[in-house]
Chain A
Amino acid sequence: MVDALELAARIGSPLTESTFRDNRRMDVAATHILPLLTTLKNDFGFNMLIDLTAVDYLEYEGARDRFGVVYLLLNVDSGERLILRTAVNLPEATLPTATGLWRGADWMEREVFDMFGIRFAGHPDLRRILMPDEFTEFPLRKDYPVKGRGERHNFPVITRAGS
């Protein structure tokens, strides 16, 4: 079990620790996320990034920040899990990339960029991954309608006689 106080001293920034069911979470400021990830990976054996995702808090009651970014870490040898959460806001919404630590972070960050428009500074290839390149919106943001804005049907119609 990593100690939150020890971690906070290492990175020089306060950490808020919380537990829900068997999930152990730590909230950290966006400026200190990369040092924290580096410390956890190199010194505490959290060698696998299970997942990286984001939450748009636009319609969440009482939320202060627009986006929460979530890192799920796993220590493969001991089986310990840890969830890190940080927050970013528009208009810049940028975080440092974790691809230098885990190559698996590459596609996860691309998906977060594609779906939420959160940028990862230093990412080698930050392009859209699931949506077409021409797509201009970020579909998992709460201000984007679930049925879209007509992009799905914006194609020429082929008739039988014309094909």
Chain B
Amino acid sequence: MPLTPVDDPEVKSSEREYVWTLNFGPQHPATHTTLRLVLTLDGERVLDAVPHIGYLHSGFEKLGETLDFNQYVTIVDRMNYISPLANEIAWHHAVEKLLNIELTPRCKYLRTILAELMRLHDHLLNVGTTALDLGGFTAFLYAFQQREKIYDIVETASGQRFHTSYTRVGGVLFDVNNAWVDKVRAFVRGVPKTHDEVHRLLTKNRIFIERTRGIGYLSHDDAINFSATGPVARASGIERDLRKDEPYLAYADLDFDVVCAKSGDCYGRYLVRMQEILESLKIIEQAIENIPAGPVNIDVVSDMVLPAKPAVYRSIEGLIQHFEVIMPNRGYDVPREQVYAATESPNGELGFYIVGNAETRAYRVRTRPPSYIHFGMFPHMIRGHQLGDVAAVLGSINIIAAELDR
């Protein structure tokens, strides 16, 4: 007969004799990166968890006060490094709202495609590593096979495979060519097969289901109270997706569904991510076939974008323009105002609160990091579960330490 522990609220958990404490992290394979938990355990049952974070706090927001709007893109890149371009798009989305820039149609479609590629990037890794932490290595290898193709695609567009630093105020670094479009088309055709393989490996896998179903439950009301967004909130039945609710870029033109689940557990979050992979493919398919021609950057006359390199090298106007944009406190007008703008990043609502001070750099830049906010509810989700479920819950809320600590 199993011993049932006395759940007397009067007795502090630390005073119970049979309770023991386990340090989990900051260097532990299932934490993926650097976070630390102090778990209070009764046998294998988790009574409480106290997260300790900051093991990767690098002063992102302070650096944002010293770098200008185009330079800071290299820093936001390194925030959620599973989907770097999604951060760049979110950052420049906020900057462009501050500066009141309307992008060209081509740029909107291009950024939409890239944002959805990053969603695939993120979800594939998350599904793969969640399975890896629960003992299934194969799905991880399948997922990484497709991720390498996404690396190739962004490398073709930007020249860098990982931290692309590709977006700029009012546009992107370079336009893409037809070879790139063909690459994306080929990639989109290949993903369903991988998706199907992962699906067959995991979705009805009895071990995987038993390790995830009913684990890390988050109710609808708790999800709202804890400020959950993104796949975590949608798996708890909150029908909210900024791509639909506050359409930005080209999402208003495209047909896709918002994926929700009601179960609110790790399995529900896994299913939401798997289905979102298919929805993202749908978006990319439509966008890549309808990508408009025309310039990718806004008009150079606006004094906000860098002119094309041939113009800089061959004409005095181009050179002056380049100089005006690059030199601090010249070029464009930044209002002395504050703005918040958010995008639906793979992890949830990724927003930036920017305080402008008539300089081409921000006076203060605040990131609303979904990982940080999701990790705050981890103790609530893990209480009462087994020690082995810690890895399952951590995987399902997709904590990225660099975004967590910034």
Contacts and interface: CB of A to CB of B under 8 A. Distances in A.
Contacts, number: 105
A53 B375 CA distance: 17
16 contacts: A20-B335, A20-B339, A21-B341, A22-B97, A48-B225, A50-B229, A51-B351, A51-B353, A53-B353, A55-B338, A70-B353, A102-B227, A103-B225, A104-B225, A106-B376, A146-B66
Interface residues of B, number: 48
B63 A146 contact: yes
A106 B228 CA distance: 13
Interface in B244-302: 245-246
A76 interface: yes
A130 B53 contact: yes
Contact of B340 (A47, A83, A130, A146): A83
Interface in A80-121: 81, 83, 102-104, 106-108, 111, 115
A23 interface: yes
B227 A104 contact: yes
Given A50-B349, A55-B355, A146-B59, A104 B54 contact: no
B24 interface: no
B61 to A, nearest CB: 6
Interface of B: 53-54, 57, 59, 61-63, 65-66, 97-98, 100, 222, 224-229, 238, 240, 245-246, 335-342, 349, 351, 353, 355, 357, 363-364, 366, 368, 372-373, 375-377, 380, 405-406
Contacts of B65: 146
Contacts of A53: 353, 366
A37 to B, nearest CB: 14
A47 B380 CA distance: 19
B148 to A, nearest CB: 33
B57 A130 contact: yes
Interface of B is mostly: mixed
Contacts of B63: 146
A79 B226 CA distance: 17
Interface in A114-155: 115, 128-132, 139-140, 146
A131 B54 contact: yes
Contact of B225 (A81, A102, A128): A102
Contacts of A106: 376
Contacts of B363: 55, 59-60
B368 A79 contact: no
B5 to A, nearest CB: 24
A72 B353 contact: yes
A49 interface: yes
Contacts of A3: none
